[in-house]
Amino acid sequence: MSNMTNKLENAGGDLTARALREAFYAGLISLGLFFLFVGLKSDQNILNELILVQRWGLLAVFVIVAAVGRFFVVAYLQPLNARRKASKDAAATTETREGYIKRNFTVIAGVLLILYPILAVALFGVQGSLKWVDNFGIQILIYVMLAWGLNIVVGLAGLLDLGYVAFYAVGAYSYALLSSHFGLSFWLLLPIAGLLAACWGVVLGFPVLRLRGDYLAIVTLAFGEIIRLVLINWTEVTKGTFGVSGIAKASVFGIWSFDISAPNNFAKYFDLPMSSAYYKIFLFYLILALAALTAYVTIRLRRMPIGRAWEALREDEIACRSLGINTVTTKLTAFATGAMFGGFAGSFFAVRQGFVSPESFVFLESAVILAIVVLGGMGSLTGIAIAAVVMIGGTEILRELTFLKSIFGPDFTPELYRMLIFGLAMVVVMVWKPRGFVGSREPTAFLNERKAVSGSFTKEGHG
List contacts with other proteins (CB under 8 A): 297, 300-301, 304-306, 308-309, 311-312, 314-316, 318-327, 333, 441, 443-451, 453-454, 457-459
Element holding 121 (H helix, E strand): helix 105-131
Element holding 54 (H helix, E strand): strand 50-54
34 C-beta neighbours (distance < 10 Å), count: 19
Q: Which is nearer to other proteins, 25 or 206 (CB)?
A: 206
Q: Which is nearer to other proteins, 109 or 306 (CB)?
A: 306
Q: Quote the least distance from Cβ 378 to other proteins, whole Å.
A: 10
β-pairing, 244-245 vs 50-54, is unpaired
Q: Quote the least distance from Cβ 157 to other proteins, whole Å.
A: 13
Q: Which is nearer to other proteins, 219 or 297 (CB)?
A: 297
Q: Which is nearer to other proteins, 280 or 441 (CB)?
A: 441
> What contacts 426, CB < 8 A, 6 or more positions away?
371, 375
Q: Which is nearer to other proteins, 51 or 453 (CB)?
A: 453
Q: Quote the least distance from Cβ 437 to other proteins, whole Å.
A: 18
Residue 242: DSSP 8-state: G
Answer for the pair 249, 258: CB distance below 8 angstroms, yes or no: yes
Q: Which is nearer to other proteins, 94 or 456 (CB)?
A: 456
CA atoms within 13 A on the CB side of 88: 6
Q: Quote the least distance from Cβ 315 to other proteins, whole Å.
A: 4
Q: Quote the least distance from Cβ 308 to other proteins, whole Å.
A: 5
List the end-to-end C-alpha distance of the chain, in Å, as a whole number: 64
Q: Quote the least distance from Cβ 184 to other proteins, whole Å.
A: 26
Tell me how far CA of residue 206 lies from CA of 162, 202, 234, 429, in angstroms: 16, 6, 24, 35
Q: Quote the least distance from Cβ 384 to other proteins, whole Å.
A: 17
Q: Quote the least distance from Cβ 311 to other proteins, whole Å.
A: 6
Q: Which is nearer to other proteins, 320 or 387 (CB)?
A: 320
Give the residue among 147, 173, 195, 113 at the shortest CA–CA distance from 351. 173
Answer for the pair 264, 256: CB distance below 8 angstroms, yes or no: yes
Q: Quote the least distance from Cβ 380 to other proteins, whole Å.
A: 13
Would you call 53 helix, strand, or coil by DSSP?
Answer: strand
Tell me how far CA of residue 11 lies from CA of 21, 77, 83, in angstroms: 15, 16, 15
Single-letter residue type at 20: L
Q: Which is nearer to other proteins, 121 or 378 (CB)?
A: 378
Q: Which is nearer to other proteins, 402 or 454 (CB)?
A: 454
Give the residue among 374, 284, 25, 149 at the shortest CA–CA distance from 17. 25
What are the E-state strand segments in 200-254?
244-245
Report the distance separating Cα 166 and Cα 346, nearest Å: 10
